[in-house]
Each structure stands twice: as C-alpha cells, then as structure tokens.
Chain A
Amino acid sequence: MTYEETGIITLKDIQAPSKERFEKGPVAVIECPQSIPCNPCADACKFGAITMNDINALPKIDFEKCTGCGACISKCPGLAVFVVDMTYSENEALIKLPYEFALPKIGDTVKALDRKGEMKGDAKVVRVIKEKDKTGVVSIAVKKNLAMEVRNIRC
C-alpha cells in the first residue's frame, strides 16, 4: 500500500542521509514526498542546504551543507521536518521534532511513537523550545535503532 492509501510515509518515499553522513552529526530529514505549492523550508535555511526549482517542486536537501541546526523544523507548515543526531551518545540518538500539543518538560520520560502512532518505547525529553508562533520543537533521546522510526511523542 502506498502513502496515498494509508497516510504513512515510509523511508523509500523520502531522501534519507547516508550512514556516513549520520556519523558526522545532526542532519535534517524532510518527509515531504508530494509536489505541493510550498517553500518556507528553503527560505528558512541559512546554509542554502534546501533548494527548490519552483514552488511546486520537492524540497531537495544537500546533506553536506545541512548542519542540523533545526531552523526549518518549525517553519514547515506540514510539520514534516525532523532533525536526527546519531552522534548524541553511544547508545542513543537525538530526534528534534515539531510538536503542537501541550509541551512536556525537560527530563520527562514520554512515549515514543512511530509514523503509525504505535508505541516504540520510552524517550527522554532533552530540550523543549516554544517558538513565538506556538509550534514547539521537542528534542528527545531514543535508542539509536529507533532514530528513523520515531516521529512523535505522547506525554
């Protein structure tokens, strides 16, 4: 079944960083596989890592230019940008995700959910930013093998 039938994006639908790139530090993962008229992510990137030929094109990300700063996360109207840092600790990866519900506190243990909303275990809240426009950016630590699966939390 395709994402058009299920609403679930899979890794084959998106541009994913290589293993080597992950080893270098934090990097943005954009989960936006459809041509929709939208480009704030490209505008948000100070490093020119995200480019689009025209407003309906898919965002193209140059992982070498991306620093994983996360400036694009809250700018995406589709809440489709995440930052993954595989170098966070020996066993854990850090995921920065956009969050528009009651925000957790730093140090909280929350449930880590995948793209289907299924529970994948616990996550530790490392950082919480509430942007002026009220979108939260929550950084969570999860087991490394879950870094490309976990995309939401339940507090």
Chain B
Amino acid sequence: MISIKFLVKHSYLMRISKHPILSFERGKKVTFTFNGKKIDAYENETVASALIAAGINVLSRSIKYNRPRGFFCGIGKCSSCLMTVDGVPNIKTCVTPVKNGMVVESQDGKGSLPENTELESRKETLHADVAVVGAGPAGLSAAITASKYNADVLLIDENPVAGGQLIKQTHKFFGSKEHKAGVRGIEIAKLLLNEIEKSNVNLLLNAGVIGYYKENCHMLTVVQDRKIIKVYPKKIIIATGASENMLAFPGNDLPGVVGAGGVQTLMNVYGVRPGSNVLMVGAGNVGLIVSYQLMQAGINVKMVVEAMPKIGGYIVHAAKLRRLGVPILTSHTVKNAYGNGRVEGARIVKLENWKEVEGSEFDVPVDLICLAVGLTPTCEILFQAGCETKYIPELGGWVAWHDRNLETSIQGIYVAGDCSGIEEASTAMMEGRIAGMDAAEKLGFRIDEKEKKDAFENLNTLRSGPFGEKPRTGKEKIWGIK
C-alpha cells in the first residue's frame, strides 16, 4: 500500500477520483495562501480540507506547550483547526469555505486582532416563531414539521452546507419504510433538503449561535460572516448534535489522530484522502461503518481494535469488514501512538478484565488513527441558557432534562437528536418531528394529533430491540425525574 508521503508528493492522489457510491462535483479551481505559500483548492470546499489535500497536517498549536494539532472533528466542534483568516483570528477553518485570494495564517496562541482594524461589523435583527439550531436530521425534521403547521421557522447552522452528518453517510439506513430504510444517508439528506427548499423555512448557513439571552422573551445571538444577528424566536429547538470523544493514550494529540466523523467529512464530502493506512479504534457502528467507507474510498484499514470483549455495532457491519479481510480485535486497545510530527504507527495491547496483558504489545505502522469511541451531546447553549441538566451515562453524559415532547425545564426551549441523548439518525428525525409539532401546537397552530401519535409509536419501535436498550433506559431515567 502506498504511503502518505507518496500521496502528498503526487498531490493529485490526495483527491479521491473514483468512488463506487459517490461522485465528487468539485467547484472552480481557486488559490489561496497559507503562511505565504500558494495552495490550490476548489470552490465549495473548506480551508482545512484544502490544506489536508495539500499535505499540510499541522493546523494549529496548543496554547500552553506549543504542541502540533492536526485535523480532528471537521464540523466546527473541536478547536484544533483555528487559524487567522484574512486578518481575523480563531476562525474554524474546517467549516470555512475557501475563497480565491484568501490569506490564511497559522496563529500564535490565542491570536490577536489587527491593530488598524477595518473590519466592518454589522447588526441585524430577525424574528421567528421557531428558531431551530442545527440543520442535521433532527433540526431539518423539526424545521420542516413546524413550518408545515404554518409556524415561521428560522433554521441556523454553522456549517457551509445543511444536512449535518447525513451528508457523509454513504451506507443504507436500517429501520422500516417509514424510517426510509434501505436508503443511503446522503439520499435522505437530499430528500430533507428538498423539503426545506419547498417550504418557507428561512435557512441561515455559516451561522454560529454564540449565546442565549433572556430579555422579555428568548433571544439568540448569531454570528454570520462579520455580522451579528439578534434572533427573537418564540420557541427554540436545539438540535446541535454531538462531538466525538477523545481517548486517553500517549501521543493522542499527534496530527493523524482523527475523529471518525472528521475522516468521513474529508473523504465523503470533500473527496480528500485523510491517510493511506488506518487503525480504527472502536467497533461500535460508527467505527465499523467508517472502516468500510475508508475501504470504499481506496484507503487501507489495517485493523479495528475494540477494548470491549464484544463488538458493539451490528454484526452485519462487522461481517462486511471481515469479508474484506480487515481484522477486528476485541479486548485490544491502543497503548500509545508514535511518530515524528505526525502519526507513524500505534502500539496495540491486549486487555484481560480491563488490564493490559504484559508482553502482548505489538506495533501497527499506520499514518492515521481513527477514533470511534463514542459521542458526547453538544449542550453548551442549553447549559448557558440555564436549562436543568442531568448526568445520564446511557445518553452520553450531561444532557438537558426534557419531557416526552422534548421541551426542557425552560418553557419554549426544546432539544432533539443527539444533543438530547446519543442515538442515531432515524430516532433524531422522529424527535425533531415531535419537537417541531409540539412547538407549533403550543404557539396555537393546529396540528395533526395522529401524526404526533405515530411519531411517538415510531420512536418506541426503534428503541424496542436489544440495540435500543441503552437510549431507552436513558430516556426513561430522564422522564422519571421531575
């Protein structure tokens, strides 16, 4: 198998050209500078994806010890790709589209604003019946549903494209017809975005919600480009998803240790190879699915290691990988990562009763260590708003308390999808619908009671099997608290 150095040297190879499922429609060629060096890129891709494609793997440095930081989440959730762009520091380059002539610089520490700032700042005010934060499966479904019942909806997302994680899910979804089973996630995203287009939903992209304020009513502050928008919604639905968990091991901050979702973003959205030989850590559904997708993109997965004694994801996903010759080692984990400036390999160790087995260590030379070790709900706005929070391990940690209609302890603020508890896209869509319907109903719009009843039944069905036990238990814990 070819090395990452070879790929970088022949930079066109960093771009995926043939793919069995996807076709990459790259925009016009553009160039920008990174620390004074010219970088070729395509319109419609992000600064970070263009830099990775150009073989640049140090995107920032840690503030205290100046350690190199590489690409990690790819969706604006971690802070490893912050740079100064056109003079403005702390720009999340993974969600910032490239523009011709852009000046990108790596920044020292926290960065500083230019002294003679001519940065324009504009202010705007928007009103809405319902503001939905996050345009993933939950947020899109919430917006479509609330809008269908005549609410005036504003949908806000900090990414350059809507669809959340659906836009990188090339696999077919499980479930039944009602949950679009057998349809690939990317196609479900298209269906939902099509509905948004036909609706009256006002979609704000590249727009980050930076705060919640309570005046006489709810107020969200949104930053879009260089503009501050004050949003006054009557109801708020937070559907901000989740962020990927880190795993503690020496070398876990080397560039080349990447979140599984980050890898998906690079290879399935932007068609950029994140590496050439991969170690996948975690055999839950995310680890198994992303490993298979890496193989489809022509990237070699050397093995999957899983600390648990059993594979956590669906066996059918594991079987697909095994048939390709990818080993899955249960009761094994990463002892450390090694490499000079970027990942060159990982040392694996066997576990017995969660203790390392002495002498069982072995090295795997890889240039990418992909972490698929769980997700944590993204709840910052909810915490800042003062929603009552609960620690529910089955839901992924701290979440905002919510009732069956997804309303939190603050009247008029709802949650839906992964930020209300880690599950998957089918349940996120159902939760979005319920929250959208309840918000519309409480605003005085007449809703179809049958649709709400069906959505509840659908959710129960999806959570009824052995794989639904964890979220079911978590949700029951939350509902049991008053």
Per-position binary interface string of chain B over residues 6-22, scored 1 when its CB falls under 8 Å from any chain A CB and 0 otherwise: 00000000000010110
Q: Are B319 and A134 in contact (CB under 8 A)?
A: no
Q: Which of A88-111 contact B (CB under 8 A)?
A: 100-103
Bound together, the chains give a CA A31 to CA B323 distance in angstroms of: 13
Q: Are A37 and B467 in contact (CB under 8 A)?
A: yes
Which B residues are CB-close (under 8 A) to A6? Answer: 322, 328, 330
Q: Are B314 and A115 in contact (CB under 8 A)?
A: no
Does B184 count as interface, using CB distance less than 8 angstroms? yes
Which A residues are CB-close (under 8 A) to B177? Answer: 40, 43
Bound together, the chains give a CA A40 to CA B172 distance in angstroms of: 11
Per-position binary interface string of chain A over residues 34-57, scored 1 when its CB falls under 8 Å from any chain B CB and 0 otherwise: 111111100100000000001110
The minimal Cβ–Cβ distance linking A75 to chain B, given in whole angstroms, is 5
Closest to B310 in A: A4
When the two chains form the complex, which single residue of A31, A55, A77, A113 contacts B172, counting CB atoms closer than 8 Å? A77
The minimal Cβ–Cβ distance linking A6 to chain B, given in whole angstroms, is 7
Bound together, the chains give a CA A100 to CA B22 distance in angstroms of: 11
Which A residues are CB-close (under 8 A) to B171? Answer: 77
- Supposing A75-B182, A77-B182, A102-B18 touch, asked if A31 and B468 sit within 8 A by C-beta, the answer is no
Bound together, the chains give a CA A40 to CA B174 distance in angstroms of: 8
Of B75-83, B159-167, B348-356, B458-466, which binds chain A? B458-466
Q: Are B315 and A134 in contact (CB under 8 A)?
A: no
Interface residues on A, range: 35 or more
Which A residues are CB-close (under 8 A) to B326? Answer: 117
Q: Which of A1-46 contact B (CB under 8 A)?
A: 3-9, 31-40, 43
Number of interface residues of B (CB under 8 A): 43
Does B176 count as interface, using CB distance less than 8 angstroms? yes
Bound together, the chains give a CA A102 to CA B296 distance in angstroms of: 9
When the two chains form the complex, which single residue of A35, A40, A54, A115 contacts B319, counting CB atoms closer than 8 Å? A115
Which B residues are CB-close (under 8 A) to A78? Answer: 174, 314, 316-317, 319-320
Q: Which of B450-482 contact A (CB under 8 A)?
A: 461-462, 464-468
Bound together, the chains give a CA A94 to CA B330 distance in angstroms of: 34
Does A144 count as interface, using CB distance less than 8 angstroms? no
Closest to A135 in B: B172
When the two chains form the complex, which single residue of B172, B320, B330, B461 contacts A5, counting CB atoms closer than 8 Å? B330
Bound together, the chains give a CA A135 to CA B320 distance in angstroms of: 14
Q: Are A8 and B322 in contact (CB under 8 A)?
A: yes
Q: Are A152 and B324 in contact (CB under 8 A)?
A: yes
Bound together, the chains give a CA A39 to CA B173 distance in angstroms of: 11
Closest to B295 in A: A101
Q: Are B321 and A7 in contact (CB under 8 A)?
A: yes
Q: Are A31 and B175 in contact (CB under 8 A)?
A: no
When the two chains form the complex, which single residue of B187, B320, B461 contacts A55, counting CB atoms closer than 8 Å? B461
Does B311 count as interface, using CB distance less than 8 angstroms? yes
Which A residues are CB-close (under 8 A) to B20? Answer: 100-103, 134, 136
Question: Could you tell me the dominant secondary structure of chain A's interface residues?
Answer: loop
Q: Are B320 and A38 in contact (CB under 8 A)?
A: no
Q: Are B468 and A37 in contact (CB under 8 A)?
A: yes
- Supposing A38-B175, A56-B464 touch, asked if A101 and B310 sit within 8 A by C-beta, the answer is no
The minimal Cβ–Cβ distance linking B184 to chain A, given in whole angstroms, is 7
Does B114 count as interface, using CB distance less than 8 angstroms? no
Q: Are B182 and A7 in contact (CB under 8 A)?
A: no
Q: Are B323 and A113 in contact (CB under 8 A)?
A: yes
Does B318 count as interface, using CB distance less than 8 angstroms? yes
Closest to A151 in B: B323
Q: Are A100 and B296 in contact (CB under 8 A)?
A: yes
When the two chains form the complex, which single residue of B296, B310, B325, B468 contacts A117, counting CB atoms closer than 8 Å? B325
Which B residues are CB-close (under 8 A) to A113? Answer: 323-325
Q: Are A31 and B316 in contact (CB under 8 A)?
A: yes
Does B247 count as interface, using CB distance less than 8 angstroms? no
Which B residues are CB-close (under 8 A) to A100? Answer: 20-21, 296
Q: Are A36 and B467 in contact (CB under 8 A)?
A: yes
When the two chains form the complex, which single residue of A31, A37, A75 contacts B461, counting CB atoms closer than 8 Å? A37
When the two chains form the complex, which single residue of B184, B320, B468 contacts A79, counting CB atoms closer than 8 Å? B320
Q: Are B323 and A101 in contact (CB under 8 A)?
A: no
Which A residues are CB-close (under 8 A) to B283? Answer: 7
The minimal Cβ–Cβ distance linking A44 to chain B, given in whole angstroms, is 8
Closest to B292 in A: A100
Closest to B181 in A: A40
Q: Which of A116-149 contact B (CB under 8 A)?
A: 116-118, 133-136
Closest to A116 in B: B322
Closest to A136 in B: B20
Bound together, the chains give a CA A76 to CA B182 distance in angstroms of: 7
Does B341 count as interface, using CB distance less than 8 angstroms? no
Q: Are B311 and A36 in contact (CB under 8 A)?
A: no
Does B309 count as interface, using CB distance less than 8 angstroms? yes
The minimal Cβ–Cβ distance linking B16 to chain A, given in whole angstroms, is 12
The minimal Cβ–Cβ distance linking B141 to chain A, given in whole angstroms, is 18
Bound together, the chains give a CA A133 to CA B321 distance in angstroms of: 21
Taking A38-B174, A77-B174 as given, write out 5 further A-B residue pairs in contact, using a Cβ cutoff of 8 Å, ordered by the A residue number: A7-B311, A7-B315, A34-B466, A101-B296, A115-B319
Task: Please give the residue numbers on chain A whose beta carbons come within 8 Å of chain B beta carbons, in ascending order.
Answer: 3-9, 31-40, 43, 54-56, 75-80, 100-103, 113-118, 133-136, 151-152
**14 interchain pairs, CB-CB under 8 A:** A3-B318, A4-B311, A5-B309, A8-B319, A34-B316, A36-B314, A37-B176, A40-B181, A55-B464, A77-B182, A78-B319, A113-B324, A133-B187, A134-B20
The 9 closest A-B pairs by CB, nearest first: A117-B325, A78-B316, A56-B465, A7-B318, A77-B172, A38-B174, A152-B323, A40-B182, A4-B310
